[in-house]
Structure 1
Amino acid sequence: MLRVLDECNKVSADFSADPVHDLRVALRRCRSMADGMMAMDPDRNWKAMKKAGKQLFQRLGALRDVQIMMEWIEKLNLAEFSELSPGDEKASVEIVPGMKSAATPPDVPADPASALLRILQARETEQKREAHAALEEFDRKQWSHSLPQRAARVRPGSAVFKHLALERWTNARELHTLALRNRSQVAFHTLRIGIKRFRYIVENFLPAEHEAWSKDLKHLQDLLGDVHDLDVLWATAQSHHIFGDDASRKAWHERITHERTKRIDEYRQKTVGPDSLWNVWRAGLPHGQQIHQIATRRMKLWAKALDPDFAHSERVAQLSLQLYDGLWAGRMLRLTPLQNGKPNELRSSLYAAALLHDVGKSEGQKGHHKQSQELIQKHGTPLGWNEDDMRRASLVARFHVGALPARSHKSIRDLLPDEQKSVILLSAILRLANALDSAHDGHIRKLKIENAPPPSPRANGFARKPAPLGKNEALVIAAEGYTQGTTTAQTAAAERYLLETVIRRPVVIRPMKALAIR
């Protein structure tokens, strides 16, 4: 991040091509770092830094495009394609868009390359003034105080950053497939940005992988960057009407197309087939169950930075799962056939909701349950988690306190009936689990459904279904560390109502019996 400040000082001298490029690279890397840090550290300054960096980056972009086109004209030796021979009438040249002269003035070059260079030089002068103004408006304080210290706390090379890199890899790989399918200019440009984002996450946070992959990543990025530059050069040449005849236009187009095709072919050679670089990179990133597990760790880190008592949320999550598992084993969840087909999805939603239910307290105590819902929705779905599960989790977190969830509530009234039932059921479990740790001291250590024994095995190896409770029989929850008459007991008694409504029977909470010591 401090490199941005150094590059700002260098570029301010004359805004020449190399310093402008170096500053844009430093800004993009900082914005990529902010993306990575925001996944675990939701400090608002990261977002502010990213926004400020984007503004300066974009305002330098037009200048950089002009400078690149000037370099390409020289690199491709396009000046050799002169449209006029000595003595021919000079063609009109559009120096400023919308303004043409009937005949080229004596000081205006006759060939397309020189004409375009004159146009670009005039534009470069204008864009340098704009870049200077952008640099003057750029607030450098965000790079000089708290954020470098916050970034230094993060350990590079951790599994969390490998998961973040896998997200970037997945996105870039999809863009790769799309680009090779339709081969459009926009698709290849978008692919270049996707690879760049993947590369910068690796470069910023995964030193071992960066050492192994950096050369190939940079080469592919450069190939696609050249393709984009050539596309911009040809579009600019056409828009300024610098060609006086079809021969010069054709010569330019053939030269540019040849160079563009050569780079796309080289990109394909390195990224298609069993030896594809995409496969090499994927092999070094998380697989299988690791993806979900690391995604959960990322989610916990994010929540821990927002929740003032995340240890409480972790305890509530464990109590919630114990309740859910006990109710599921005892066939008391009253699920529909569709819900019965996805018990793990409901369990995942409950776990996420319990872990994240208090992140809204970062915005204040009042109405924090509503803020929790908004923050979870903004956080999005980490790779390895299901989007529907996270959406459901945000709704369940919304109802962990406050108004009871009802089908008519604006938050769930548009859901399908089965989904409404799921949200209400999980909210009932979370409300009770949260009440059992309302003192935030962890004295309730374990829950068990006392009168719902697990299935017993039959002689033929199949399990018998547990005997259902009687029609008016209460559900008895045994809680280790629970004491009647305490504030926690009173809070739990008030919050058990929703669960009683869902399972259609009374709920009784009592202390767990201690095991006899022999």
Structure 2
Amino acid sequence: MKPASQSVGLKYWMQRVLRECAAAARDLAVDPVHDLRVALRRCRSMADGVMAIDPDPAWQEMKRAGKQLFASLGALRDLQVMQEWAEKLAPPDDLARARLLQFLSQREESAKADAAQALAQFDRKQWRRWIAHLSARAARLKPGSIVYQHLALERWTEAYALHRKAMRSPTPHALHSLRIGIKRLRYVVENFLPEHHRHWKEGLKHAQDILGEVHDLDVLQAALLESGAFADQADEARWQQIVEKEKQSRISEYVASTSGPASLWRVWREALPKGKDAEAAGIHRLRLWAAFRDGNIRHSRHVAQLALQLYDGLVNATAWKPAALKERRILFTAAILHQVSDAGAKQNPHKTAYRLVRKTRPPLGWSAREWQTVAAVVRFYGGGLPARGRKAWDRLQLAEKRSVKFLAAVLRVAEAFDSDHSARIRRLRIQHGDGLIRIFADGYLPAHAIAMQVSRARHVLELACRNPVYIQPLRKPPLRRAS
């Protein structure tokens, strides 16, 4: 197997930014400016990918610093690209071409001055500190993992929606938005899914480049009008026809590559998780997201398993009739997330976790209401009971309230069973009959320190199930003597 190329990874591209800064600062020529923007874009796109999991604020700080320099070079880069297009589309003796180039050249001097100032203000020392810190954090996430496949599926879904919109109405704004969507997909694949990228790189680059040229031509059209380069209306019409012909040629090329059985969109989608695999990938991503924010993720995962045992036991014993919602998935997700926190949090743990979950965008495959239900279960597993006047409760619909009340009670009991974080209780068995629910817990002792927490949580479950709940040790059957 050939060694991996060194031109990948966050550390490489952050170091590349520093090298390209030095090259661009010499004369702000076309190629160095382009290369610096590519390096900055790579760093910021990798930050986007890792930030989906890792909450370290340094990612946002690095993105912000990169964005400031990237934007300052954008105006200059646009002018340089338009000069290239003007020289390509018309012969040297074209009067409108000469006037446009003169207009762009005047603008370029001002843009270069702004870009030079931004380069001088760029904090290279801070950037070097981020290289050491962030490359170490990025190394905790394995390229090619199911988490990044799920992130790529999310980017594909977003970009494909933009594709469909642009095909219905191919306005400059719609096509530019589509280009950005494909670019975001491309950078996830390029940076984090090397095997996918090996098969997709030509198609992704081609689609992005074609739409990039369409955008360049739109910008050129606007510059032509602003520059006053036309001698008369006939001259203007001639140039508009030239530019429009180039645009339509590229749009047609894009449409051809994304239509029919061999459509690039189909090729990309086929290689990403589908159905239950996509759902499992989403759960795995949430587990990793929680691991970066939970001081004891093993405890939370153990509580999640106890919660599922309790839920399944109550359903199988007919002590609870599930609602139409995807209750089991909601319960498991809430259990995994119920201890997430952030640095310096001063609220109660359940309130902090609720706030973090609620402000997180629903993962792919979750509706906004399902995600709101997850957040509500996280909010009410601890602290006061659900009641009118609590925002997390008042936002719910009637059927959701019934589920949240029960699922939060189940999670509360599961958390109580491991309130000492010992994982001593590993198996639960449920019996239901004669209006009584019995929970048999392997490893539970009434005299143990957790018994008080279990008793308090049991009361909440009683209110949700409308049945008394007894907690008892699970007696193991005696060993049979050998005859």
TM-score (norm 2): 0.92
Alignment of 1:44-193 (within 5 A): 44-77=57-90, 79-81=92-94, 111-140=95-124, 141-142=126-127, 143-193=130-180
Aligned-pair distance for 1:418?
A: 1.8
Distance in 2 of aligned mates of 1:156 and 1:204: 8
Aligned-pair distance for 1:388?
A: 2.6
Distance in 2 of aligned mates of 1:76 and 1:127: 24
Distance in 2 of aligned mates of 1:64 and 1:424: 57
Distance in 2 of aligned mates of 1:444 and 1:139: 53
CA offsets per residue over residues 368-425 of structure 1, 9 Å max, x none?
2222112112332222344332221111111222222213322211322222222221
Aligned-pair distance for 1:78?
A: 5.7
CA offsets per residue over residues 115-152 of structure 1, 9 Å max, x none?
22222111111111211222233333244321122223
Find 2:183's aligned residue among 159, 184, 196. 196
- 3-state DSSP of counterpart to 1:509: strand
- 3-state DSSP of counterpart to 2:421: coil
Find 1:502's aligned residue among 464, 468, 475. 464
Find 1:332's aligned residue among 314, 319, 324. 319
Matched residue, 1:268: 255
Change (3 A) 1:498 1:245: same
CA contact (8 A) 2:335 2:411 kept: yes
Matched residue, 1:303: 290
CA contact (8 A) 2:319 2:437 kept: no
Matched residue, 2:374: 393
Matched residue, 1:379: 360
Matched residue, 2:232: 245
CA contact (8 A) 1:308 1:361 kept: no
CA contact (8 A) 2:311 2:328 kept: yes
Matched residue, 2:268: 281
CA offsets per residue over residues 170-227 of structure 1, 9 Å max, x none?
1111111111110111111011111111111111111122222212211111111000
Matched residue, 1:106: none
CA offsets per residue over residues 32-91 of structure 1, 9 Å max, x none?
11111122222221122122222222222111111111111001126554xxxxxxxxxx
Find 1:232's aligned residue among 219, 222, 245. 219
Matched residue, 1:212: 199
Matched residue, 1:87: none
Matched residue, 2:3: none
Matched residue, 1:462: none
Unaligned runs of 5+ in 1: 82-110, 453-468
Distance in 2 of aligned mates of 1:323 and 1:361: 29
CA contact (8 A) 2:438 2:469 kept: yes
Aligned-pair distance for 1:361?
A: 5.7
Matched residue, 1:511: 473
- 3-state DSSP of counterpart to 1:510: strand
1:315 aligns with 2:302: yes
Distance in 2 of aligned mates of 1:330 and 1:25: 60
Change (3 A) 1:352 1:441: same
- 3-state DSSP of counterpart to 2:396: coil
Distance in 2 of aligned mates of 1:70 and 1:159: 44
Greater shift, 136-145 or 226-235, is seen at 136-145
Aligned-pair distance for 1:112?
A: 2.1
- 3-state DSSP of counterpart to 1:476: strand
Greater shift, 33-42 or 305-314, is seen at 33-42
CA contact (8 A) 1:308 1:362 kept: no
TM-score (norm 1): 0.86
Equivalent residues, number: 464
Higher gyration radius (CA): 1
Find 1:38's aligned residue among 43, 51, 70. 51
Aligned-pair distance for 1:296?
A: 1.0
Change (3 A) 1:38 1:361: closer
Which runs of 4 or more aligned residues in structure 1 lie more than 3 Å from their structure 2 counterparts after TM superposition?
78-81, 361-366, 384-387
Matched residue, 2:8: none
1:433 aligns with 2:414: yes
> Greater helix percent: which structure?
2
